[in-house]
A and B are shown apart, each in its own frame.
Chain A
Amino acid sequence: SSELTQDPAVSVALGQTVRITCQGDSLRTSYASWYQQKPGQAPVLVIYGKNNRPSGIPDRFSGSSSGNTASLTITGAQAEDEADYYCKSRDSSVQEVFGGGTKLTVL
């Protein structure tokens, strides 16, 4: 079982704001990274560190962290944002672990 907990599914109306969360003790001392995966495609890094976006990732994606919870926020969700989102951080043995993933539906 994952040491990072995500809601299995979240939905958002087109153009609205959605927050996807990731909970785990390791997040108190380590930042999460976030990955977007569309069907049949490899994951893509969308947020890393405190709140950093790789080149090519739209600025509607942002990250934040508080206590044991990391969040990925999409401000003004677009149809193309519909995907699975995974957080990743360290686990208790200083290895790395993915959250279970959140399926985002854009209505």
Chain B
Amino acid sequence: EVQLVQSGAEVKKPGESLKISCKGSGYSFTSYWIGWVRQMPGKGLEWMGIIQPGDSDTRYSPSFQGQVTMSADKSISTAYLQWSSLKASDTAMYYCARRSEYWIDGNLLSYYMDVWGKGTTVTVSS
């Protein structure tokens, strides 16, 4: 079974650091990019960025560039999302998802996220 298993809920104080994880199984982990998605309480989905676990190439949304760091350890099929200094506004659910490609006649036409983790709740409060 193809799945992404995320680490458990976290409760942190402002200024603390945090690293959450996303472990893939049931497929070739380095064959797909892994994306991260934020959902703040009561709000919509926000695309944060993606990482290619094979070479750790990363692409960040401008909104999240410099705010978080994505990394991966291909030897254990795990991607990470980390913060060096949390803020209360980082309180949210964070999802990882596998990114697949849609091709027609040799043309890459779109991306889609076909496998999702169950999410990691991050609460930042003093």
Contact = CB atoms under 8 A, between A and B. Distances in A.
Given A31-B102, A95-B61, A45 B112 contact: yes
Interface in B2-48: 35, 37, 44-47
A88 B109 contact: no
Nearest to A54: B114
Interface residues of B, number: 25
Contacts of B44: 2, 84, 86, 98-101
A93 B102 CA distance: 19
Given A43-B116, A48-B102, A30 B61 contact: no
B80 interface: no
A88 B46 CA distance: 10
A44 B112 CA distance: 11
Contacts of B35: 96
Interface of B: 35, 37, 44-47, 50, 59, 61-62, 95, 97, 100, 102, 104, 109-114, 116-119
